[in-house]
Amino acid sequence: MGRVEYRELICKSIINRVYGMPFQWSINPYRGCVHGCHYCYARGTHTYLDLGAGRDFSTIIFAKVNAPDVLYRELRRPAWHRDPVSLGSATDPYQPAEARFRITRRLLEVLADYGNPTSIVTKGTLILRDRDVLADLEQRAGCTVCFSVPTVDRAIWRASEPGTAPPAQRLRAMAQLAAAGLHVGVLAMPILPGLSDTPERLDETVRAAVEHGASFLWPDLLHLGSLERDHYLSFLEREYPALLPLHQRLYPGKYPPRAVATHLEATIAELKARYGLVDRERPERRPHQEQLPFT
């Protein structure tokens, strides 16, 4: 991967409106990600900074060092109504940079103080460091932790997510948070055609999620937007050249044919039923006004 360069970034805003997702608002403390997942849909965002979507994305990391102060101001705005926010929807809030900058922890502390419902998406085991503030946030407003585990197959993991913790480590971290009373589950996203989409590999992923305390599992197939398409196809050409014709058929655009996605959804539904996994939502909590220290 090469030497990682960290650059401090002063942001003007931190809560972002998102569309086409199961949530409306997101917060991303970092830009770029050393995980280097070849399928990552956020790779293209580096091109907006005149940087590359390939090596630059995983070796030039921007840390939004003033993000907690900006969040404090934005949560105080009269127009903000404590809508749920997702932390880490684009890049991992618990990538290695967090050990140095501690931005994610400070953001969670602000969200807990304000009593704002929050979800987190991560592949990072560093999240265990913050069990105390996660428990506080859960008690005050509700906190859902989503562990990204697209597959538990070690060969596919090693090739497609070269900078991440092994899936088994992520699942053990999830089990510890589940034991601490947090609402946790697995995002099996993206399922990679020709790699992690076989019945045997899907079975392994669902079974492992259940065995480690997942309250939910949500799958989705690979999407290939225009900005990340070239990078992913180059990865396939290098590592799995036999799969190139399949992807050329499946992805004339960003999404595969609906029939392919429907088949995956049915397969996952059968596996969840087999292992007794019924997706459980966390009840949304709205704290009393007197509980909030800076309203």
The pLDDT value given to residue 217: 97
- Encode pLDDT of 202-223 as tens digits: 999 999 999 999 999 999 999 9
The pLDDT value given to residue 230: 92
User: What is the distance between the alpha carbons of residues 238 and 223, in angstroms, rounded to a whole number?
Assistant: 19
Q: In what order do the strands lie in the sheet with 25-27?
A: 15-17, 25-27, 85-87, 118-122, 143-148, 183-191, 217-221
Helices (H), the chain: 55-59, 67-75, 97-101, 103-114, 131-140, 154-160, 167-179, 199-211, 226-239, 244-250, 258-274
Angle made by CA atoms 295, 130, 287, in degrees to the nearest 5:
30
The pLDDT value given to residue 283: 54
Helix 103-114 × helix 131-140 angle, to 10°: 20
Angle made by CA atoms 278, 88, 271, in degrees to the nearest 5:
25
Element (DSSP H or E) covering residue 14? none
Element (DSSP H or E) covering residue 240? none
- Encode pLDDT of 5-44 as tens digits: 999 999 999 999 988 777 789 999 999 999 999 999 899 8
Backbone angles phi, psi at 176, to 5 degrees: -65, -40
Closest CA to 64 of 130, 16, 21: 16
User: What is the distance between the alpha carbons of residues 271 and 221, in angstroms, rounded to a whole number?
Assistant: 16
Topology at the third CATH level for domain 5-278: TIM Barrel (3.20.20)
Residues of the chain scoring pLDDT < 70: 1-2, 282-295
Residue type at 31 in one-letter notation = R
Structure tokens at 172: 């053990």
The string of DSSP letters for 168-197 reads: HHHHHHHHHHHHTT-EEEEEEEEEPTTTT-
Which residues fall within 8 angstroms of residue 200, CB to CB, at 6 or more apart? none
The pLDDT value given to residue 45: 86
The pLDDT value given to residue 44: 83
User: What is the distance between the alpha carbons of residues 16 and 205, in angstroms, rounded to a whole number?
Assistant: 31
- Encode pLDDT of 116-125 as tens digits: 999 999 999 9
The pLDDT value given to residue 97: 97
Structure tokens at 255: 């999404």
Q: Model pTM? A: 0.92
